[in-house]
């Protein structure tokens, strides 16, 4: 598990490149904000989390509960999910808009076309919706 990165993951880099190409500027992994969002766009009062489906217990085709050490993994992943909920609630309470981009929207058989995904983020950032949840096609 030591080799698993929490920053600068491939999905995160894809999102960063796409938004930067559209002219968005952002801060990375701001430790002053709960949950250390992957991208912080202060001008838009928005944060973007890029979540791995396994580590955050997403209900998609990329997630399945491990067969070995079931209790350990259940505690770990459910703890991550609870922390995610707490961070979103706290950030929303102080006025931050929150987008979550799930790994399944970027890879796997249900992924969204990358230009479409970046366009959805652009539309959300340009608007005033409080939340956005980007997942793979159902």
Residue 2 scores a pLDDT above 50: no
pLDDT for 1 beyond 60? no
Bin 108: left if φ > 0, else alpha if -120 < ψ < 50, else beta.
Answer: left
Higher pLDDT, 7 or 22: 22
Strand partners, 41: 46
- Residue 80, phi then psi, degrees to nearest 5: -60, -45
**Other Cβ atoms within 10 Å of 58 Cβ, number:** 21
CA–CA–CA angle 57, 46, 135 (5° rounding): 35
CB of 81 within 8 A of CB of 103?
A: no
| Multiple choice CATH, 10-134, 3.90.1150.10, 3.40.960.10, 1.10.3720.10, 2.40.10.120 | 3.40.960.10
Distance CA 67, CA 70 (A): 6
pLDDT digits (tens, 9 = 90+) for 87-120: 999 999 999 999 999 999 999 889 999 999 999 9
């Amino acid at each position: 598990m030591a080799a698993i990165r929490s920053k600068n993951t491939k999905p995160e880099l894809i999102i960063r490149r796409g938004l930067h190409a559209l002219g968005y500027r952002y801060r990375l992994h701001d430790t002053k904000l709960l949950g250390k969002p992957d991208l912080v766009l202060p001008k838009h009062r928005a944060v973007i989390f890029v979540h791995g489906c396994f580590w955050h217990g997403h209900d998609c085709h990329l997630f399945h509960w491990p067969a070995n050490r079931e209790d350990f993994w259940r505690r770990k992943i459910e703890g991550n999910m609870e922390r995610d909920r707490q961070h979103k609630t706290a950030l929303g309470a102080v006025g931050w808009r929150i987008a979550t981009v799930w790994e399944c929207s970027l890879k796997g058989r249900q992924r969204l076309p990358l230009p479409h995904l970046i366009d959805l983020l652009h539309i959300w950032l340009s608007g005033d919706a409080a939340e956005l949840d980007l997942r793979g096609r159902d």
